[in-house]
Structure 1
Amino acid sequence: MSSTIAISVFVVSYFFIMTEKINRALVALSGGTLLLLTGIYQWEDAYSNYIDWDTVTLLFSMMVLVSITKKTGLFEFIAIRFAQKVKGKPIPLLFGSSLMTAIGSALLDNVTTVLLFVPIILTLTKLLELNSFPYLLTIIFSANIGGTATLIGDPPNIMIGQAVEHLSFTSFLVNVAPISLLIFLVMIFSVIFLFKNQLKIKDESFVNQLMEMEGEHYLKKTPMLYQSITVLSLTIIGFLLHPVFHIELTTVAVCGALLLLLMTEKEAGTEKIFEQVEWVTLFFFIGLFMLVGGLEEVGVIDELSRGIMWMTEGDLTYTALLILWTSGLFSGIVDNIPFVAAMIPVIKEFQSYGMANLDPLWWSLALGACLGGNGTLIGASANVVVAGLAEGAKQRIPFVRFLLYGIPLVIVSLIISTIYIYIRYLLPFQEAL
């Protein structure tokens, strides 16, 4: 009975999130509250076990940093300079912004990167009167693909790296980065082909105006500018040094946000900064974690994980490919974090069945969970953040429209990953038998 209730609440909530007729945060929180009222779990369980407060706090902290920095005009300055470098041409602009997003997501994390880049892209598309949808779409895709490439780029990779001692930062670069680069190139050229008619300047006078603009005029050269640049840079350095000092990314972000708030209190005002935080996005995350927690509480995710082990009967090839596709398709529907958390102990159990080399399974899980997030607008944290920022700028991304591009990309990504995993890991294993 409890399984039926949890699944029903999730499906109904997901339907209303897709239709977008009711605010998505309200829908998710209502679904989570229904799970509390029906006794699927207690509030203590939701608060302690299912709501990922690290993710929520990291998002909040980065939103604070970005909100303060935005007041200095830094994003407008970067946007204008970047657009002038590519001479306002829409396709180079799309490629350049996507490449920077992918690199940023690999070196930082994809949520932090989209928080930094989306305001810049929204500024540029408004300036050149371009359709923002292709640019926001590629930022989401690039963030998830770039985040796949490194240990710190996406939460599932961090979880896998913490669970498996021998999988280091270098291991991810060597094993996952090459295929991520290939998928990125396939994605960007596909988007350019699909949107080539929209990636055109309607009036060359916009480009002329852009080239004549002085980016420095947008910079407010007050102490807050230099304070923002310094603290934001220190925060990013802190992220990069995570593998060295092992300080949690959330801790670094919170310290950065608090430090900048203290330094800019008189000029920016804490209350005004808090008003600019995307609260709808944060509460949507809380509700989404509660919905997925319901599935986890009644054992749906765990049963799905164990079903993989039962179906493959311990065969390495079948197990690796089934994990890849299951995690890829499932991660487009619910957040990939609880699925990966459930899969890690299951994969570890395979050693007791005589499976000595588990690395192909870990790479399958990482690729599937990270790339599968491109499937829907709620498939990954970065997607939800971009949607929230876009909606705040009155450039809403329709759920179904995103689905039409996201699902095909996931299928293509998983096909490419299947070939890669089979040739690089599974074929040599079979030949050695």
Structure 2
Amino acid sequence: MITAMAILIFLISYIMIMTEKLNRALVAVGGGVLLLLTSVYDWEEAFTKYIDWDTIALLFSMMVLVSITKKTGVFEYVAIKFAQTVKGRPVPLLIGTAILTAVGSAFLDNVTTVLLFVPILLTLTNMLSLPAFPFLIVTIFSSNIGGTATLIGDPPNIMIGQAVKHFTFLSFVWNLGPLVLILFTIIITGMVFVFRNQLKFDSTKVAELMKIEPESYLKRTPMLYQSLAVLGMTIVGFLMHPIIHVELTTVSVCAAVLLLLLTDKEYSSEKVFEEVEWVTLFFFMGLFMLVGGLIKVGVIDEIARGMMWVSGGDLPTTAIIVLWSSGLLSGIVDNIPFVAAMIPVVHELQGYGMMNLDPVWWSLALGACLGGNGTLIGASANVVVAGLAASANHSISFVRFLLYGIPVLLVSLIISTIYVYFRFLVPFLS
């Protein structure tokens, strides 16, 4: 009875999120409350076991950093310089956006990258009277693809890297980097083709853009230099994670507190907190609670074990099943809790005689990271972009995103299947 209740609440909440009849944060949190009322789990379990407070704290901290930095005009400065460099041409602008997002997502993490870059992007599209949707959706795809390449690029990779001790930062780059380059080239080329008719060159707007002095947007107060310094230290801290072994959340929280202390007189903390995307944060909390209900009643674990049963203990079959199932399911239940459920299952495969599990681990990483492109709630970066876009009156429809996300996901999984087979499985079988 409890299992059926958890599944029903999840399905109803998910359908309501898709239809967008009510605020998605309200729906997600409401579903979580129903799980509490029906005793699927209690408050202590929800708050200590199922809500990923590391992710919430990381998002909150980066929102604080971005909120303060935004007041210095540095985002407008970067946006104008970037647009002037490509002379306001929409296609190079779209491609440049994709490249910057992918690189940033690989060496920071995709959530941090979109938090930093989307405000710049929205400034650019508004300035050039370009539709924001093509740029926003390309940013989402690029962030998830780019984040796949490194250990710190996407939360699932961090989790897998912690579970498999011989996987290093370079291991991810060496094993997944080539595929990421292939996928990025194919997907972005496809997006340029799809949106080419919407990317109109407005010579009047571009002429106005080229006359602008980017420096005029900078507010050269102490807050500018304090923000850039703290933001720079935060990025260095993220990059040094494999060496200093300080959690990304710890780095971001420390940075946020430091910047709040430094800039409180110039820009009060109360005003900063008003700028935080609380709807996005509460949506994440609700989503974690909804998926937590499925974990509590064993649905996710049964799905994971079912995949192992279907494979019959065969390594190539197991790797491909893990790739596709994680790719498809990560778009529905969010890749973080899914990977958390899969890690112990993959470890158990050693008991069935599979001694070299690396192909399975790489398949799990690819499926979980790339699966985030399937739906608007498939990955943390997607939700953050949607939240930032909505606050700027550029809402992204769940169904409209699906029209682009599903084809991108299927193409990614097909190419990944070929790559996994020839890169990891053929050498092992021979």
- C-alpha distance in structure 1 between counterparts of 2:58 and 2:211, whole Å: 38
State the match for 1:324 in structure 2: 323
Normalised to the residue count of structure 2, the TM-score between the two structures is 0.99
Give the match's secondary structure for 2:372. Answer: helix
- 1:67 maps to a residue whose letter is S
Spell out, residue by residue over 1:94-119, the C-alpha distance to the aligned partner (whole angstroms, 9 max, x if none).
00011000000000000000000000
How far apart are residue 429 of structure 1 and its match?
2.2
- C-alpha distance in structure 1 between counterparts of 2:288 and 2:385, whole Å: 18
State the match for 1:412 in structure 2: 411
State the match for 1:200 in structure 2: 200
State the match for 1:296 in structure 2: 295
- C-alpha distance in structure 2 between counterparts of 1:272 and 1:159, whole Å: 35
Q: Establish whether residue 186 from structure 1 lines up as the match of residue 186 from structure 2.
A: yes
State the match for 1:216 in structure 2: 215
State the match for 2:75 in structure 1: 75
- C-alpha distance in structure 1 between counterparts of 2:426 and 2:228, whole Å: 49
- 1:105 maps to a residue whose letter is S
Give the match's secondary structure for 2:40. Answer: coil
- C-alpha distance in structure 1 between counterparts of 2:425 and 2:172, whole Å: 18
State the match for 1:263 in structure 2: 262
Equivalent residues in 2 for 1:272-421 (5 A)?
Answer: 272-421=271-420
Equivalent residues in 2 for 1:92-131 (5 A)?
Answer: 92-131=92-131
How far apart are residue 40 of structure 1 and its match?
0.1
Instruction: Spell out structure 1 runs of 4+ moving beyond 3 A.
Output: none
- C-alpha distance in structure 1 between counterparts of 2:35 and 2:236, whole Å: 41
- 1:64 maps to a residue whose letter is V
Please tell me the root mean square deviation across aligned C-alpha atoms, in Å: 0.6
- C-alpha distance in structure 2 between counterparts of 1:272 and 1:425, whole Å: 52
How far apart are residue 252 of structure 1 and its match?
0.3
- C-alpha distance in structure 1 between counterparts of 2:424 and 2:113, whole Å: 31
Give the match's secondary structure for 1:296. Answer: helix
- 1:224 maps to a residue whose letter is M
How far apart are residue 308 of structure 1 and its match?
1.1
- 2:176 maps to a residue whose letter is V
- C-alpha distance in structure 1 between counterparts of 2:45 and 2:186, whole Å: 42
Normalised to the residue count of structure 1, the TM-score between the two structures is 0.99
State the match for 1:38 in structure 2: 38
Spell out, residue by residue over 1:304-355, the C-alpha distance to the aligned partner (whole angstroms, 9 max, x if none).
1111111111100100000000000000011111111111111111111111
Structure 2 spans left out of the alignment, 5+ residues: none
- C-alpha distance in structure 2 between counterparts of 1:236 and 1:423, whole Å: 35
Spell out, residue by residue over 1:11-34, the C-alpha distance to the aligned partner (whole angstroms, 9 max, x if none).
100011011110000000000000
Spell out, residue by residue over 1:28-70, the C-alpha distance to the aligned partner (whole angstroms, 9 max, x if none).
0000000000000001000000000000000000000000000
- C-alpha distance in structure 2 between counterparts of 1:285 and 1:160, whole Å: 21
- 1:226 maps to a residue whose letter is Y
Report the number of matched residues: 430
- C-alpha distance in structure 1 between counterparts of 2:101 and 2:354, whole Å: 38
Give the match's secondary structure for 1:404. Answer: helix
State the match for 2:61 in structure 1: 61
Identity %: 68
- C-alpha distance in structure 1 between counterparts of 2:82 and 2:10, whole Å: 43
- C-alpha distance in structure 1 between counterparts of 2:333 and 2:410, whole Å: 17
- C-alpha distance in structure 2 between counterparts of 1:421 and 1:342, whole Å: 22
How far apart are residue 428 of structure 1 and its match?
2.1
How far apart are residue 2 of structure 1 and its match?
1.1
Give the match's secondary structure for 2:265. Answer: helix
